[in-house]
Amino acid sequence: MKTNPTNRRSQASPRHYSARFTIVTKARTEGDSRTPNETRYKLRSELSELRERYLNKVDEIAMQCGVAEALKIKKQVEQQIDEFEQMRRGKGL
Could you state, in order of their start, the residue ranges of all structural domains in the chain? 13-91
Q: Which residue has the higher pLDDT, 14 or 75?
A: 75
> Residues 68-73: what's their mean pLDDT?
85
Average pLDDT, the chain: 77
Q: CA-to-CA distance for 16 and 20, rounded, in angstroms?
A: 6
Q: Which residue has the higher pLDDT, 69 or 30?
A: 69
Q: CA-to-CA distance for 90 and 93, rounded, in angstroms?
A: 8
From the list 60, 46, 82, 81, the residue with the least C-alpha distance to 38 is 46
Residue 2's pLDDT is what? 46
Per DSSP, the three-state class of 6 is helix
In this structure, are residues 35 and 43 in contact, taking their beta carbons and an 8 Å threshold? Answer: yes
Per DSSP, the three-state class of 4 is coil
- 5-43, pLDDT tens digit by residue? 444 444 556 666 677 777 777 777 777 888 888 888 888
